[in-house]
Structure 1
């Protein structure tokens, strides 16, 4: 094995990935499966048609236990992001993002109200910084505990409910963004009805010691196939979902990124808890007045994919540079190349014809709505 892979962190499912013939690659400091013998295209289509099992144990799991009541903790976490935390019902999860003083995004995340504490899931590449950020700012209101003894699995696709219910019947009544804790022979499972594919599905936090056996049981079912990072990326791209460090980063605001839907009325101008988060001046101004550029869907008009970094121009020759691609590739469900990126506001309307420069040649591309494929969450 190459030395660089031996130095990487391993997930609890490492041996299972090897037994399944996975191709392992470095990702966010971990050795992760990028694909299995089925191949990226087949894995993608299998998830859309049946059900895919993803190892996402590299992501950060964190428990926030209040030191003086859940309300103080909610207010403290709300001071770090433009998203409403107070008022989130027990048993529910919400999407959020940490922002910096300039209104850029430090990371996007999920947080859930589990009654006497909050459970937070953050991106792998940002988890050390996120945990330090929470410890620095929430120490007066909460104990910030990184979870180091659990794996995290994602079961995604139209057969996900049927498959998981065969092992955990209690999940049948869950709807999108519900969370549930269930005691099983595998230990306590912390389950959310959510995911990163645009499909109905679940994310399951499970004790590390029992995760391999649980995963094998799922994979023994005919509907389930193991899915790697390659298909995870094409699935989330079709769903129009951002990848941190590519489509969003410390310089892009939630409004530029098209994430304004995640900012509740209570945190906006005139709301009961207006502002009070890092970068509020910029973000509230952009909500009211718009941004200079914004994230858009891009549909190349040739078969050539437009990858991350592709420059976007307003003319086939000469003209002005008006944007760039942040994520791009082939959309297996659509049978065509797709991309996301940023375009100047005057060029960001759906249907606008632009040109992407691929290997020195400008090729036509059309601004389109996101997502590329409608999501199938169980509302």
Structure 2
């Protein structure tokens, strides 16, 4: 997931397009930049969940599709994925990410508990600072990627993926019961609160900061990448985190259910434009960010996934976290495969495309995500290859519709991030 947040929630009342001030994103088709909906909800619409902005999306021409058990906007009106993508890169877009699961963990042993669930060094994290992390199973496989924001030693705000909601919440419940019944909780029990129906919206792009600054007296220059604060926005006091899932400067804003629609309307005026899943997928892939279920799963370790950096240096040898043995084996011996990026000649390589060595034509891996990059004008992809074939510049062949296409292992991110670091 990369660093992801956004706003959504509470049931939105019928809202007229003429009053939104939002311009919708160009015709999205099942061509360049399409988002892979593999493994997403396929049941009847009635069984899908809705964010609090569902009616707002419909009123603004949202083209709703099943995604991670929710009805979510793929695109808006006659604005296509490429145009929407480009607008975020050059101006600003607003994404509803209210389908994500927002949680609070509180208690005097909350830091130790979350350091047991994840390999990250949270004890050294400064207050109101965020880190990307991973929840690991007993074998060191990734249950989910997550963003953890430390408010204090005994209070954390955690965002996890909608598609892993049931798995994550069951895991939290099981491990909390285990923790609170153990000697490790003698310093205090840990409580978990799910922020049900809270909104989460992401305003992303080079114009995001200037626009948001016009709505608050808080000096946003103080809020550098990875930092968060409670910010007054036109009378609303909201948790704002600087970061996102696009590689651009931006903010992810958590909103109480009763305020989600009104706050979103405030945030969604020119130059900010509504953006959907299509643009979100191509933006995150250009930024080299993973999508759980495509690029990460429970059979993949953080070392294989190129996420070794989320493992605290002081925890790599002695850290007491779930899955540590499997992680340490990959750290010591090297992982059997590695996540890498590719530039692909000819046609774009999609998820599942097989990767072969260029000389022996040995099967060495598979593509997990791939698109024609709207920004670079090249076909980009990421996937896993056997260790030894992962070095920059390695030439491989990728089977695209039964034809081998030349590809080159390329460092990620594919484009330089534009995060605000002060």
- TM, length-normalised to structure 2: 0.84
Q: Residue 3 of structure 1: CA displacement?
A: 8.1
**Residue segments in structure 2 that go unaligned for 5+ positions in a row:** 1-41, 181-188
Of 234, 239, 246, which aligns to 2:294?
246
The aligned runs of 1:62-73 (5 Å cut-off) are: 62-66=103-107, 69=108, 72-73=109-110
Quote the residue 1:225 is aligned against: 273
In the alignment, does 2:79 pair up with 1:31?
no
Question: Hey, what's the Cα distance between the residues in 2 that align with 1:206 and 1:281?
Answer: 39
Quote the residue 1:308 is aligned against: 351
Structure with more contact order per residue of length (Cα contacts < 8 Å, sep ≥ 6): 2
Quote the residue 2:217 is aligned against: 169
Deviates more, 1:245-254 or 1:284-293: 284-293
Quote the residue 2:98 is aligned against: 57
Question: Hey, what's the Cα distance between the residues in 1 that align with 2:310 and 2:254?
Answer: 24
Question: Hey, what's the Cα distance between the residues in 2 that align with 1:3 and 1:127?
Answer: 17
In the alignment, does 2:328 pair up with 1:284?
yes
SS of aligned partner of 2:48: coil
Question: Hey, what's the Cα distance between the residues in 2 that align with 1:121 and 1:315?
Answer: 41
Deviation sequence 1:75-129 (CA, Å, 0-9, x none): 0110111111222211111111011111110001011112351110000111222
1:275–1:284 contact (8 Å) kept in structure 2: no
SS of aligned partner of 1:285: helix
Question: Hey, what's the Cα distance between the residues in 1 that align with 2:234 and 2:96?
Answer: 20
Quote the residue 1:100 is aligned against: 137
**Residue segments in structure 1 that go unaligned for 5+ positions in a row:** none
Question: Hey, what's the Cα distance between the residues in 2 that align with 1:45 and 1:299?
Answer: 20
Q: Residue 186 of structure 1: CA displacement?
A: 5.6
Deviation sequence 1:254-312 (CA, Å, 0-9, x none): 0000001111211112xxxx23112212212222332111000011022x010000000
1:77–1:138 contact (8 Å) kept in structure 2: no
Question: Hey, what's the Cα distance between the residues in 2 that align with 1:62 and 1:373?
Answer: 32
2:287–2:415 contact (8 Å) kept in structure 1: yes
In the alignment, does 2:346 pair up with 1:346?
no
Deviates more, 1:111-120 or 1:12-21: 111-120
- TM, length-normalised to structure 1: 0.93
Relative to 1, partners in 2 of residues 1:297 and 1:18: Cα closer, same or farther, differing over 3 Å?
Answer: same
Q: Residue 6 of structure 1: CA displacement?
A: 3.0
Of 371, 376, 395, which aligns to 1:334?
376
Question: Hey, what's the Cα distance between the residues in 2 that align with 1:324 and 1:292?
Answer: 14
SS of aligned partner of 1:266: helix
1:54–1:154 contact (8 Å) kept in structure 2: yes
2:215–2:234 contact (8 Å) kept in structure 1: no
Give the root-mean-square deviation of aligned CA atoms.
Answer: 1.6
Question: Hey, what's the Cα distance between the residues in 1 that align with 2:103 and 2:89?
Answer: 30
Quote the residue 1:87 is aligned against: 124
SS of aligned partner of 2:388: helix
Quote the residue 2:175 is aligned against: 137
